[in-house]
Structure 1
């Protein structure tokens, strides 16, 4: 019986570990490894450093980020080198298994020893695992000689003969640590806020007015003192109303980044108010819906300012609540009397708005609803500046 092509045990074990760690590789990547090996890649010219050549091949084929490169490097660094005699013994055993046709499901684990690695022979446990049996050590063998234990998985896991692998899973060091990432980085938010400007001049006259100074010099023929003017400052004000209902829980980290980025925008005044589903008669100063304040007071302080509303508007749950849609329409009409420029930012994709309350709210032409990302937030700021 002819054995089907397979990756070497070291690469096969690495492939399975990468899949277990969530690296996006599949059958096509496995076949790419076979084709690369068949083409002569993964081997060194002098016969030395085969592991380094295989490591480079695996990183080229299967690593798409720095962390995946480090994961592959740790794999090769922590798996002990296998003696050449042991590899020859494994190949000979596989050929013997092919000749004898020992591909029955009952073969759960087979121990393979090299002539240099027979200090202890593994004994099979009832659970199919192997363990070292000191009583089975051959007399005269050197306990310090290199040895390894290879186990064969059952053929029920795949087609053909199973590929040998180390019976104990090797340690790979630290695992992946997943950190929550905001939709828009805080630095990008700060840059976007600085785009929202309404320049005005006020305060003491401390800035040199070149045009007025030249005009004074031409009119009088001499210049007693230079003409000065007040410095230009940003008079833009911004009020953000953020929904903290349970359906917005996945975007809590973004709302935190949003609040922390406002001081870096150098706006004349910027605040965030929180509500649940719909801001009725009051807002809250904290996302836990504590420290309420009347909605009318906030609107009076920000009369004529820009207003951003961040809410999924019912699209996260996929519900259509006509009563909520009508109440939201009435609220927007009231808000427009205080803030002429309002933009609604929806963190759900536009395709998910169909058939929900968000679709009815987005039908209001005076309050555009945009998806929540850096590109559309830039568009929202342009709308607040008056660039419709």
Structure 2
């Protein structure tokens, strides 16, 4: 048994991934291991049952697997017989080579590819075709950069010809659920709204004062009045952390905050902020700050540390912005996705010594950031 899935199951695995079924590397390896142990052998029905047991976690996913086996017709019997004959002939050749070790010992050593001779196993007199090996190399090009656009991201000029399949699952810095739990830690309980909750202490005082109580004393219920403005850097140097920014956007409605808004900027907050990470729908920066006056401010940016560059002008302009923002926001935190050891000697190192604390993005520092936003230093 090989260490890869047969074509039928490999095609099904790719189809499930394309349909959004959450199968990953572990599911692929489970299929290989199950086949190695003898499961799913015999006919298509056995393969179908195996795939349904391994990868079908709901009725809809099992229906997808069933349709895959129903749509694909079984292979022709003559084709199967031809493949079996070829495999039997190859096995016979292998057994003959094993049974005659003397021939193997007297065989001359094949020259290495560097010497220009044939590869091991090639026919005598044959030359090595190095075009396939050269085609497997991927050419990497860098997108053009312009002033203030950030670090250009390397991109493949052409898809490499690789004969192996890889299933890559993204690993976010923090899941939307965990991020929502962190937002719920950010609370400022206040009472406002209709008086629907009984105030026991006030009711007893009224009873003792009057001697007669017509109705209980009520008060508004407590609710979370915490407000938050997030300013996220959407420059090219922040491309590796776009999934984290998407997690921020997805988790905000789950945080049960009184009001929360996410705005984007390019490298540093200048005169305009944007509603999307593609820097669309601009709005005046000062207008956004005034609208969220009294809320907490969270800034997410590498602050130049991803490029390892030091731009003193950018640091001074950012410090001026933070000084202006402190007039509107009683608490503010800067989250930097780069580790703290990479800040020294960069623009981030200068900004980190300013009035707003800068923290790296990990679980302990995210908790600390929430505490700072709550006013707990």
- Structure 2 gaps, min length 5: 7-24, 43-83, 111-117, 129-163
Which residue of the partner structure matches residue 384 of structure 1?
Answer: 373
Whole-Å Cα distance in 2 between the matches of residues 342 and 247 of structure 1?
23
Whole-Å Cα distance in 1 between the matches of residues 253 and 125 of structure 2?
65
Whole-Å Cα distance in 2 between the matches of residues 265 and 329 of structure 1?
30
Which residue of the partner structure matches residue 109 of structure 2?
Answer: 104
Distance change in 2, residues 1:66/1:215 (3 Å) = farther
- Select the residue among 84, 94, 98 that pairs with 1:94: 98
Deviation (angstroms), 1:186: 0.8
- 1:297-330 Cα deviation digits (max 9, x unpaired): 1111111210000000001111111111111111
Q: Secondary structure at the match of 1:348?
A: coil
Residues 3 and 32, structure 2, Cα contact 8 Å, conserved in 1? no
Whole-Å Cα distance in 1 between the matches of residues 351 and 259 of structure 2?
28
- Select the residue among 273, 295, 305 that pairs with 1:315: 305
Which residue of the partner structure matches residue 68 of structure 1?
Answer: 29
- 1:311-364 Cα deviation digits (max 9, x unpaired): 000011111111111111111111111112110001111122122111111112
Residues 308 and 344, structure 1, Cα contact 8 Å, conserved in 2? yes
Deviation (angstroms), 1:104: 2.5
Whole-Å Cα distance in 1 between the matches of residues 182 and 274 of structure 2?
25
Deviation (angstroms), 1:126: 6.1
Deviation (angstroms), 1:223: 2.6
1:290 aligns with 2:280: yes
Whole-Å Cα distance in 1 between the matches of residues 119 and 37 of structure 2?
28
1:304 aligns with 2:294: yes
Which residue of the partner structure matches residue 327 of structure 2?
Answer: 337
What's the TM-score once normalised by structure 1's chain length? 0.62
Distance change in 2, residues 1:93/1:187 (3 Å) = same
Which residue of the partner structure matches residue 174 of structure 2?
Answer: 184
Q: Secondary structure at the match of 2:100?
A: helix
Deviation (angstroms), 1:227: 1.3
Deviation (angstroms), 1:76: 6.2
- 1:153-211 Cα deviation digits (max 9, x unpaired): xxxxxxxxxxxxxxxxxxxxx95432434321111111111111111111110111122
Which residue of the partner structure matches residue 245 of structure 2?
Answer: 255
CA RMSD of aligned residues (A): 3.6
Whole-Å Cα distance in 2 between the matches of residues 87 and 226 of structure 1?
91
Which residue of the partner structure matches residue 264 of structure 2?
Answer: 274
| Larger Rg, first or second structure (1 or 2) | 1
Which residue of the partner structure matches residue 35 of structure 1?
Answer: none
Whole-Å Cα distance in 2 between the matches of residues 79 and 89 of structure 1?
26
Distance change in 2, residues 1:88/1:213 (3 Å) = farther
Whole-Å Cα distance in 2 between the matches of residues 224 and 178 of structure 1?
68
Distance change in 2, residues 1:220/1:318 (3 Å) = same
Residues 272 and 285, structure 1, Cα contact 8 Å, conserved in 2? yes
What's the TM-score once normalised by structure 2's chain length? 0.63
Distance change in 2, residues 1:93/1:323 (3 Å) = same
Deviation (angstroms), 1:93: 3.5
1:231 aligns with 2:221: yes
Distance change in 2, residues 1:126/1:266 (3 Å) = same
- Structure 1 gaps, min length 5: 1-9, 18-63, 111-122, 129-173
Larger deviation, residues 304-313 vs 328-337: 328-337
Whole-Å Cα distance in 1 between the matches of residues 41 and 165 of structure 2?
16
Q: Secondary structure at the match of 2:323?
A: helix
Whole-Å Cα distance in 1 between the matches of residues 274 and 94 of structure 2?
70
Whole-Å Cα distance in 2 between the matches of residues 341 and 98 of structure 1?
82
